[in-house]
């Protein structure tokens, strides 16, 4: 409230003006804007309200986590004149270009709802939206893995290498033993010193590029 209108503060409060912009009030404003745009509005109104929505969300992201629940976000829409919203937990941030392109070519039943491109990525994720990679991995949690080993494969391999193959020659000997059991007459080992720098893109995690370097191949 400006200094000129401070003297009218009591009157404004009596008329329903809030003393401060708390999270509840800001969520109400978002809901009112959402209801307003259930029907098509002019491009001018859409641009104006989208700007206001982003300002509100930028404010909400700095509130404590318990006050940032049940937030709705503006979403991307084919018709730019439309301003539509979805709960933040249902929204996805298009933060990986190659994965977005792959997603756009999929014809699956599950719809990926992207946040509006004008909403900053950091703001959307602070309010509950998931990155595209996290969304893809999150969907795998519904798969039933009860039919095979309970211990994660990576843990199993780590324990084998840590506890069973400690002298440096155990792995080649194991490969030779497996080949002999299969009736092989010869075993060949190839040392591949290539670093494969050109194959370290489009990975689920940056650290997945580490095992893409030099290796020993037994055939």
**Domain-embedded: residue 203:** no
For the record, the structure tokens of 83 come out as: 């301003």
Q: Per-residue pLDDT averaged across 116-132, rounded?
A: 90
| pLDDT band at residue 32 under the 50/70/90 scheme | very high
Which of 144, 142, 88, 149 is CA-nearest to residue 115? Answer: 88
Domain shared by 135 and 182, yes or no? no
* 25 C-beta neighbours (distance < 10 Å), count: 13
Residue 105 has pLDDT above 60, yes or no: no
Residue 192 has pLDDT above 70, yes or no: yes
Which of 95, 107, 110 is CA-nearest to residue 142? Answer: 110
Domain shared by 77 and 174, yes or no? no
Domain enclosing residue 174, as ranges: 170-197+214-218
| pLDDT band at residue 202 under the 50/70/90 scheme | low
pTM over 0.85: no
Q: Per-residue pLDDT averaged across 210-219, rounded?
A: 77
**Domain-embedded: residue 154:** no
**Domain-embedded: residue 165:** no
Q: Which pairing describes strands 113-114 and 91-93: parallel, antiparallel, or unpaired?
A: parallel
Domain shared by 102 and 192, yes or no? no
Residue 191 has pLDDT above 50, yes or no: yes
Residue 16 has pLDDT above 70, yes or no: no
CA distance 154 to 74: 40
- Of 141, 156, 187, the one marking the end of a domain is 141
**Domain-embedded: residue 21:** yes
Domain shared by 19 and 104, yes or no? yes
**Domain-embedded: residue 29:** yes
| pLDDT band at residue 86 under the 50/70/90 scheme | very high
Domain shared by 117 and 193, yes or no? no
**Domain-embedded: residue 51:** yes
pLDDT value at position 72? 94
Per-residue CA distances from 124 to 22, 81, 151, 162, 166 (Å) = 19, 21, 35, 42, 48
Q: How many domains does the chain have?
A: 2
CA distance 217 to 154: 19
**Domain-embedded: residue 158:** no
Residue 142 has pLDDT above 90, yes or no: no
Domain shared by 42 and 126, yes or no? yes
Domain shared by 87 and 47, yes or no? yes
Domain shared by 114 and 193, yes or no? no
Domain shared by 21 and 129, yes or no? yes
Q: At what angle do helices 43-60 and 23-36 cross, to 10 degrees?
A: 160
Domain shared by 24 and 108, yes or no? yes
Residue 193 has pLDDT above 50, yes or no: yes
Q: Per-residue pLDDT averaged across 80-97, rounded?
A: 84
More confident residue, 52 or 112: 52
């Amino acid at each position: 409230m400006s200094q000129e209108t401070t003297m009218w503060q009591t009157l404004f409060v009596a008329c329903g003006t809030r003393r401060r912009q708390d999270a509840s009030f800001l969520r109400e404003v978002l809901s009112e804007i959402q209801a307003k745009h259930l029907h098509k509005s002019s491009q001018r109104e859409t641009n104006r309200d989208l700007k206001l929505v982003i300002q509100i969300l930028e404010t909400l992201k700095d509130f404590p986590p318990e006050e940032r629940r049940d937030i709705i976000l503006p979403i991307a829409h084919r018709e730019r004149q439309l301003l539509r919203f979805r709960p933040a937990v249902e929204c996805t941030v298009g933060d990986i270009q190659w994965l977005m392109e792959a997603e756009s070519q999929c014809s699956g039943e599950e719809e990926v709802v992207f946040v509006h491109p004008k909403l900053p990525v950091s703001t959307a994720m602070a309010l509950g939206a998931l990155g595209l990679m996290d969304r893809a991995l999150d969907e795998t949690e519904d798969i039933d893995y009860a039919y095979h080993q309970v211990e994660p494969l990576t843990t199993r391999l780590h324990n084998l290498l840590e506890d069973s193959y400690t002298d440096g020659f155990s792995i080649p000997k194991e490969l030779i033993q497996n080949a002999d059991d299969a009736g092989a007459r010869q075993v060949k080992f190839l040392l591949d010193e290539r670093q494969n720098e050109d194959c370290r893109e489009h990975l689920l995690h940056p650290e997945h590029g580490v095992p893409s370097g030099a290796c020993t191949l037994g055939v």
